[in-house]
């Protein structure tokens, strides 16, 4: 941040009185501009044992596969955000089941929340930010071409949980962007 969104003056990074970490503060009007993590909502949607993946048409990770997910908008609920992102990216109308993963992605200040979902009919297509949408059997998941470590982790958990027949909520702390080999 360079300029104050309130008065347009230059901001500087300093620890405000009574605070314990640096914040952007305006040198003229004194306003403190707090920055906090953003929430990403999405779906791990399944149709007859196959998982819906999207190949990204945008950076970052253009050309790599991901689950439909994106930034939550003001004024919507987490469920609404997950449904909207799935509709936008995969043109798919899913039924949300349980919340499945909550990942704190510390190094980019994001919290990603993925729902398990059912895709009742195999109706889907590539949305504007997607090159291709496809249903994958477990054996065909493109592990080496996944876009994000959170997606890789969620898929690994899902297939393991499916073998056990139980889908508990998983709470993850992600510290790096490197994809974990399975
Ligand atoms: Zn200002």
* 7 Cα: distance to centroid of ligand 1 (angstroms): 4
pTM: 0.90
Q: What is the CATH number of domain 1-35?
A: 2.20.70.10
* 106 Cα: distance to centroid of ligand 1 (angstroms): 28
pLDDT tens-place string over residues 68-82? 999 999 999 999 999
d(CA 107, CA 159): 27
pLDDT tens-place string over residues 1-16? 899 999 999 999 999 9
Confidence of residue 181 (pLDDT cuts 50, 70, 90): very low
Checking if the pLDDT of 182 tops 50, the result is no
Asked if residues 152 and 146 have their Cβ atoms less than 8 Å apart, the reply is: yes
Checking if the pLDDT of 179 tops 90, the result is no
Mean pLDDT of 58-75: 97
Checking if the pLDDT of 150 tops 50, the result is yes
What is the overall mean pLDDT for the chain? 95
Q: Which CATH architecture has domain 38-174?
A: Alpha-Beta Complex (3.90)
* 170 Cα: distance to centroid of ligand 1 (angstroms): 41
* 70 Cα: distance to centroid of ligand 1 (angstroms): 31
In which residue are the tokens 């906090």 written? 36
In which residue are the tokens 């949300």 written? 96
Q: Where are the alpha helices (DSSP H) in the chain?
A: 78-90, 149-164
* 11 Cα: distance to centroid of ligand 1 (angstroms): 7
Q: Where in the chain is the domain with CATH 2.20.70.10?
A: 1-35
Q: Where in the chain is the domain with CATH 3.90.79.10?
A: 38-174
* 13 Cα: distance to centroid of ligand 1 (angstroms): 13
* 12 Cα: distance to centroid of ligand 1 (angstroms): 11
Confidence of residue 177 (pLDDT cuts 50, 70, 90): low
């Amino acid at each position: 941040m360079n300029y104050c969104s309130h008065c347009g003056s230059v901001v500087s990074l300093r620890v405000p009185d009574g605070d314990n970490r640096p914040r952007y503060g305006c040198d003229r009007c004194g306003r403190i501009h707090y920055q906090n993590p953003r929430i990403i909502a999405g779906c791990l949607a399944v149709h007859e044992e196959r998982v819906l993946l999207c190949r990204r048409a945008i950076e970052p990770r253009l050309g790599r596969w991901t689950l439909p997910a994106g930034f939550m908008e003001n004024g919507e609920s987490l469920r609404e955000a997950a449904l909207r992102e799935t509709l936008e990216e995969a043109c798919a109308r899913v039924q949300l089941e349980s919340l499945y993963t909550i990942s704190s992605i510390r190094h980019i200040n994001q919290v990603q929340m993925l729902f398990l979902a059912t895709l009742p009919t195999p109706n889907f297509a590539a949305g504007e930010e997607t090159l291709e949408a496809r249903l994958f059997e477990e054996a065909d998941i493109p592990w080496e071409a996944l876009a994000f470590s959170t997606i890789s982790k969620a898929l690994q958990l899902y297939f393991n949980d499916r073998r056990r027949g139980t889908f508990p909520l998983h709470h993850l702390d992600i510290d790096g962007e490197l994809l974990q080999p399975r």
